[in-house]
Amino acid sequence: MEDSIKHLEKKFGHDIKKGDKLNCLWKDEKYYACEIIDVRHNNAKRISEFYIHYVDFDRRLDQWVGIDSFSKEDLETKHQNPAASTTSTEKRSDKMRTRGATSLAEPAPHDEHEIKVRNVEKISIGPFEVETWYHSPYPAEYGEQKLLHICHYCLKYMRKKKTALKHKEKCDRTCPPGRKIYEDGNILNDDADEDAFRPENTPEAVAVYEIDGKDAKLYCQNLCLIAKLFLDHKTLFYDVTPFNFYVLTEKQPDGYQIAGYFSKEKHQHYNTNLACIMVLPQYQRRGYGKFLISLSYELSKREDKIGTPE
């Protein structure tokens, strides 16, 4: 198999560039149109890999593939006419690269049409390893990780498992910062899907914490970074001080573990219940999203305001 890939790469590898459009094999064994977003060399396997976006598919399906995933007919056509499938997107991709790594101190301008390479493949949070969906601007030294370790309680992110285990021994936090505003022992919502994932350790309760972005800036920034891994169109707020965050947790024997959240502006120009909402994939289909939206309406009622989600 490797010999076949190396043979294809030797013949066609130099023909494929960012911005090219080819047909690529999907899990259903059918070929679909895709666009080359980036190219990298895998030193371990000594082959090139291509980051592709399937045209008209959700960006969460973007992935790295080998040259053997492309239609051989397309490769032959490209080899005979190297400039045939080069598009203006190549210029856009080059523009992305020149911006460099995004830092928390200096956010790059947001382009809603820009397709970024997913920089973290998985996160380890609590007992779960979760595949990510989208790019999130973690600092460069953390952003190029196949597996990023995140503390379930303080949301600190770490590159190595060894570091995460040491942190777990020292971390004295057992719940989000802020004020607990809700707790209920009836944790399995009636709206949850029957085939939704059920944890081995059934939570004792669900609880919601209200957190002022001004008082817990680092925690809220880390929360936004996690949310960006699973929300394509989220604008990451580097300045979290104008927002309150309402963090939904599951109560386990060792503490309150984050399951999702929504944010809300403190001083609103428009009457909106929430600015952003996210439930982590491993907690979805349990009715938590509906619960958070309902909670946002109840908070608006207490403020004597009539609002809708942003």
Tens of pLDDT, residue by residue over 300-310, are 888 777 666 55
- 217 is written with which tokens? 């800036």
Burial code of 215-229, b = ≥16 C-beta within 10 A, e = fewer? Answer: ebeebbbbbbbbbbb
CA distance 71 to 29: 11
The tens-digit pLDDT sequence of the chain (310 residues) is: 555 777 777 777 777 888 899 999 988 889 999 999 999 887 777 788 899 999 988 888 898 898 889 988 888 887 777 666 544 344 433 443 333 333 343 444 445 556 788 889 999 999 999 999 999 999 988 877 789 999 999 999 999 999 999 999 999 999 999 999 999 986 555 555 555 555 566 888 999 999 999 999 999 999 999 999 999 877 666 789 999 999 999 999 999 999 999 999 887 766 678 889 999 999 998 899 999 999 998 888 887 776 665 5
Q: Whole-angstrom Cα distance, residue 63 to residue 52?
A: 6
Please list the residues that pair with 277 across neighbouring strands. Answer: 262
pLDDT digits 0-9 by tens, 77-127: 877 776 665 443 444 334 433 333 333 434 444 455 567 888 899 999 999
Which residue from 202, 148, 147, 207 is spatially nearest to 174, judged by alpha carbons? 207
Select which of 9, 144, 265, 310 is catalytic.
Answer: 310
Supply the pLDDT for residue 235: 66
| pLDDT on residue 292 | 94
310 catalytically annotated: yes
Helix (H) or strand (E) holding 1: none
User: Which neighbouring-strand residues pair with 19?
Assistant: none
The DSSP annotation for 67-131 comes to: GGGB-HHHHHHHHHSTTTT--THHHHHHHHHHT----SSSPPPP-TT------EEEEEETTEEEE
